[in-house]
Amino acid sequence: MTKGIQFDASGKLTHLLTLEGLSRQALVEILDTAESFIAVGEREIKKVPLLRGHTVVNLFFEPSTRTRTTFEIAAKRLSADVINLGVSTSSTTKGETLLDTVRNLEAMRTDLFVVRHAESGAAHLIAQHVPKHVHIINAGDGRHAHPTQGLLDVFTIRRHKGAFEKLKVALIGDILHSRVARSDIHALNTLGVKELRVIAPKTLLPTAVEKLGVVPYTDIEAGLDDVDVVMMLRIQRERMQGAHIPSEQEYFRVYGLTPDKLACAKPDAIVLHPGPMNRGLEIDSTVADGPRSLILPQVTYGIAVRMAVMALILGGREEPLGRRA
């Protein structure tokens, strides 16, 4: 449903709502563009003039540390103006109010909305209602999608492990409630990983998970055997109704990533986590802070990836006011 509106008539990216249906070529173009922005973050003056005169609105209806901040830094490094709005979910839970909020911000001649919302489909709904010169990036909608996180995860893997075709990748933890898992799965399958596994108790796996193109494991040691990349997921307590895990101690004992369990993966396997981490629940500090962890580099790469997405969407378009003439 969503992919049709992500590109304009000329084939240029106009919204980024999901990675589902994005071609390998489109993903690689974003990753290559991100690679070119890494250097900007390493300079003394970390700024390029690409989006001068554009206004980006960070519209966050759910809490965020990394995503909101890295979008803001990314926009500023591209010389855009940035407005940050954290909107309490209690005042805007349903479509009409959400659209009204956006319409008001749009009347201020803003160009790009980065939207996070607890409802799956919120960013898509907004994208359907904004005029052509306004663009939407989904920064996480419910359990549905978190496309820039998926992109920064595959960017990290490509930088540290090279060709996707050679790689066995395992996602571990709360697959059921995770929008990151869904975006990772779409990206990794499109980019052609050799094998994609998900490891979780049955209660945290969606039904018919195989249909997503993954091999499910409930035994973490079997699932980790010989993998190159271990992607941890946070236990999403805020999205759980009822008991999905027996107790935190029991979950950590069986599914927490400890050095002993990581020893089942390849000796040079890398470890990723989108943050925020629950230390001692899904991951042991020895692993999180250990030599195979790329958890902090992921955050750094997230800036370049978000710069790439914003540059591909807004860059090379007419001057903001000219578009409306």
List of residues contacting ligand NCD (CB under 6 A): 66-67, 140, 146, 149, 179-180, 234, 236, 274-275
> Of 15, 68, 77, 116, which residue is the catalytic one?
116
The least CB distance from residue 71 to ligand NCD, in Å, is: 10
Q: Please measure the distance between the N-terminal and C-terminal CA atoms of the chain and give it in whole angstroms.
A: 31
**Which of 54, 124, 143, 146 is flagged as catalytic?**
146
- CB of 161 closer than 8 Å to CB of 268: no
User: Annotated catalytic, 116?
Assistant: yes
- Please tell me which residue in 3, 46, 66, 160 is annotated as part of the active site: 66
Which is nearer to ligand NCD, 134 or 233 (by Cβ)?
Answer: 233
Q: How far is the CB of 64 from ligand NCD (least distance, A)?
A: 6
* Nearest-CB residue for ligand NCD: 234
- Identify the residue whose tokens are 């003394």: 44
- If you search the block for the tokens 């974003």, which residue do you land on? 30
**Sign of torsion over alpha carbons 139, 144, 147, 153:** positive
State the alpha helices, DSSP H only, in the chain. 24-42, 66-77, 95-106, 122-129, 147-161, 179-190, 220-224, 248-255, 259-262, 285-288, 295-314, 320-324
Residue 117 or 168: which CB sits closer to ligand NCD? 117
Among residues 54 and 60, whose Cβ is nearest to ligand NCD? 60
CA 69 to mean position of chain CA atoms: 14
Classify residue 215 as exposed, middle or buried by CB count within 10 Å of its CB (0-12, 13-18, 19+): middle
Cβ distance to ligand NCD smaller for residue 201 or 274? 274
Beta-ladder partners of 81: 55
Asked if the bond preceding 276 is cis, omega within 30° of 0, the reply is yes
Report the residue number, 142 or 320, with the smaller CB distance to ligand NCD. Answer: 142
* Nearest distance from C-beta of residue 68 to ligand NCD, angstroms: 9
Backbone angles phi, psi at 36, to 5 degrees: -70, -20
Annotation marks residue 94 as catalytic? yes
Write down the least CB distance from residue 179 to ligand NCD, Å: 5
- Asked if 66 is an active-site residue, the reply is yes
CB of residue 274 to ligand NCD, shortest distance in Å: 4
The full length of the chain comes to 325
Annotated catalytic residues are: 66-67, 94, 116, 146
